[in-house]
Amino acid sequence: MDTRAAIDRFLASPGLSDATRRAYGADLRDFAAWLREHELALDDVDVRTLAAYTSELGRARRGLAPTTIARRLSAVRSLVRHALGPSRVPDAALAPSRPRRLPETPALEEVERAVDAAGSDEGPLALRDAALLELVYSCGLRSAEAVALDLGDVDLDREHLHVRGKGGKERLVPFGEEAAWLLARWLRDGRPALARGACDALFLSVRGKRLDTSMLRRLLPNPHRLRHAYATHLLEGGADLRTIQELLGHASLSTTQVYSHVDARRLRRVYDRAHPRS
């Protein structure tokens, strides 16, 4: 099997997001070069081959972080599954253990300041920016999910949102009164001033086109922190992890469980401050 052709077919898969396609493209080109260097083909990939490649990635001259190695192995496994079938995917755990980093979570006051600052000016762009940031926080959206929203995805009467997430997964997410109010203002007083033609995107650029994720990063350097804030504030308010998993669109509960560690930090602070024998 021609490795490069197999990679091209895999990267053309409709289930991959643009960001995943870019990251996997670089990773798989590196893997293809390694196979050529060792006179191997994609058909030769087995546990020993993947172990040798993992060892190469971990050597000092490359100095790759455990998260990078894990991502590259994930790309290779996905390629093998696509090209050769699930039965050919090596199932050994080869990636180095990754340090578990807690997400940096803004306090509620910081979220409110960011939304207020975005909507501090008059005009359609300020209405858009405030509604966009509030919706990302109120629904725990990924940046790509927020800019992919269409008009038909919003139900203001029921106050819920239809979200298309990673891997084509879809979910319904409720939002609060503040988000509903800002969205209604944007749709009534802001969006018509920017609309050009028949674009169905919920959030529009100054040229009337769908926004891209760079717009969110201009409003907030790390908009993913709003998603962390959403999950953490839900947990602190008493929501269970399984519900938070569904709302975030996580495929596995283990992904969501990182937020239980965030809550444990808060419990430790409360205990140290309040307990007489702390």
Q: What amino acid positions are annotated as catalytic residues? A: 142, 166, 224, 227, 250, 259
| Ramachandran category for residue 239: left, alpha or beta (phi over 0 → left; psi -120 to 50 → alpha) | beta
Handedness of CA 208, 213, 214, 220 (dihedral sign): positive
Helices (H), strands (E): how many in the chain? 14, 3
Q: What number of CA atoms fall less than 13 Å from residue 182's CA on the CB side? A: 25
- DSSP state at residue 189: I
Phi then psi for 171, rounded to 5 degrees? Answer: -155, 155
Tokens of 220: 């907030």
Strands 154-155 and 170-174 come out as unpaired
Q: Are 116 and 42 in contact (CB under 8 A)?
A: no
In the sheet where 154-155 sits, what is the strand order?
Answer: 154-155, 160-164, 170-174
Q: Which helix (H) or strand (E) holds 109?
A: helix 108-118
Q: Are 75 and 10 in contact (CB under 8 A)?
A: no
Tokens of 124: 């359609």
